[in-house]
Homo-oligomer: A and B are copies of this chain.
Amino acid sequence: MRIFIFCILLSVSFPVTAQLSHSDAANLLKNKGLEELAAYDMLKDLTANVGHRLSGSDGYEKAVVWGKKELEKAGADSVWLEPVMIPKWVRGNVERATALCGRMQYDLTVCALGGSVGTSKDGIKSEVVEVHSFEEVKALGSKAKGKIIFYNRAFDRTKVNTGEAYGGAVNQRTSGAIEAARVGAIGVLVRSMTNAIDDEPHTGAMRYNDSIPKIPAAAVSTIDANLLSELLHKERSVSVTLRLSAKTFADVPSYNVIGELRGTEFPKEIIVVGGHLDSWDKGTGAHDDGSGIVQSIEVIRLIKALKVKTKRTIRAVLYANEENGLKGGRAYAARERNHTENHIAAIESDAGGFLPHGFGVSTDSVRYEKIRAYGSLLEIVGADKIQRGGGGADISTLQSIGTVQIGLNPDSQRYFDYHHSNNDTIDKVHPRELELGSIAMSILAWVIAQDGLNN
């Protein structure tokens, strides 16, 4: 009984709006985060019990339920689902490419690119032409007619930031089918978007143009891309038979998952932390973007544990459908434009759960300098590199309402080894590296929630 009364007294006397210095808060967030490594446990659960979760799949629906439950467990003041229509593209069971060259026949390791049309049951068959740029495709002219175009421009390995190497190669994947069909090709094979030389194909989004024929598109593993290229250099003619069972269905209803810690003084001033809940249907989306999801939930859990309410609202948004549509980000922004809330900043984590170096910030110079000054606080977790330019696909939709865009910048060396492939699994994530990202996001969310960005 005495114990009970003592507890009541304690909780009554606890100062819910107590002052906590930024540096004390940062230390508490760091210590609790590193002691408990909870983001990793969440990610283990997500990858093991939900698995991959492409928009429109059962996996995504399970992820919605999982995300809501985790935000509640993390201690969010309120958690809700925001309706959004999302695409449904299904890979199906068949993705097979066979290279034929003289009497040789060789099965290439391929997978359909996300959004690709399928082929007939017998597939398409044609000679292969290797190219490295859209200029080369254009130059082929009528020689491309009826052919399968093989895009084989590799990552530039000399780029230290692998994101830049990706940026320099990814148009082959996103627009390769359009450019190839424009000159009459009937299909495309694309070298996987990675520095790694291995036998895993990497999927990812591709686009069509409604005024140009939609031709099937598949990624080839880098080992097989090198092999196919060698073959083409040695032999006069190499044909490929490509069979894909991919198919697009009508959009389906689903949700963004949202949870927040309500601010005490300016509850309508919002700091978003987020990532995307969907993943590709390869591996279990551990880094992309399971990491961003669990880090965002961990921000709620860690800041809640400070037991000091923030002045502004911190809201974790688990966005639907980043990978093939961005419908979640668009729906959220569309709703918010009609609201009376003021989204002052959004922090996205969608570059993997690796050691954080800092943040990239897109805003005016006054607010940039204000955020840059927080670098000294972020130094305790080594995330003090504040750079101009950055954000994330999901939060980019908030740009039109003036929200400061902030992207967590983790180390990029290993990301594309796993990205969009069967290699993106929990064993590639390090508990402490992942947690340090959560802590960095928590510190930045905390200080902006306390100080705002206007003075």
Chain A residues in the interface with B (C-beta under 8 A): 30-31, 34-35, 37, 157-160, 162, 195, 355, 357, 380-382, 411, 413-414, 430, 432-433, 436
Contact = CB atoms under 8 A, between A and B. Distances in A.
Contacts of A37: 157
A158 B413 contact: no
Given A355-B355, A411-B355, A411-B411, A436 B160 contact: yes
Copies of chain A in the complex: 2
Most chain B beta carbons < 10 A, residue from A35, A160, A433: A160
Given A355-B355, A411-B411, A35 B157 contact: yes
Contact of A195 (B159, B411, B432): B432
Contacts of A31: 158
Contact of A30 (B160, B381, B430): B160
Given A355-B411, A355-B413, A413-B432, 6 more contacts: A31-B158, A34-B160, A157-B432, A160-B380, A160-B436, A413-B430
A414 B355 CA distance: 10
Nearest to A414: B430
A40 to B, nearest CB: 12
- The 5 closest A-B CB pairs, nearest first, are A31-B158, A34-B158, A413-B432, A34-B157, A413-B433
Contacts of A411: 355, 411
A380 to B, nearest CB: 7
B414 A381 contact: no
A406 to B, nearest CB: 20
Nearest to A32: B158
Contacts of A355: 355, 411, 413
Contacts of A195: 432
Contacts of A380: 160
A159 to B, nearest CB: 8
A34 to B, nearest CB: 5
A160 B382 contact: yes
Contacts of A34: 157-160
Given A355-B413, A411-B355, A413-B355, A158 B432 contact: no
Nearest to A161: B382
A30 to B, nearest CB: 7
A160 B381 contact: yes
A433 B414 CA distance: 9
17 contacts: A30-B158, A30-B160, A34-B157, A34-B159, A34-B160, A35-B157, A37-B157, A157-B432, A160-B436, A162-B432, A357-B382, A411-B411, A413-B430, A413-B433, A413-B436, A414-B430, A414-B433
A10 to B, nearest CB: 25
Given A411-B355, A432-B413, A158 B382 contact: no
A30 B158 CA distance: 7
A430 B35 CA distance: 27
A380 B164 CA distance: 13
Nearest to A31: B158
Nearest to A417: B430
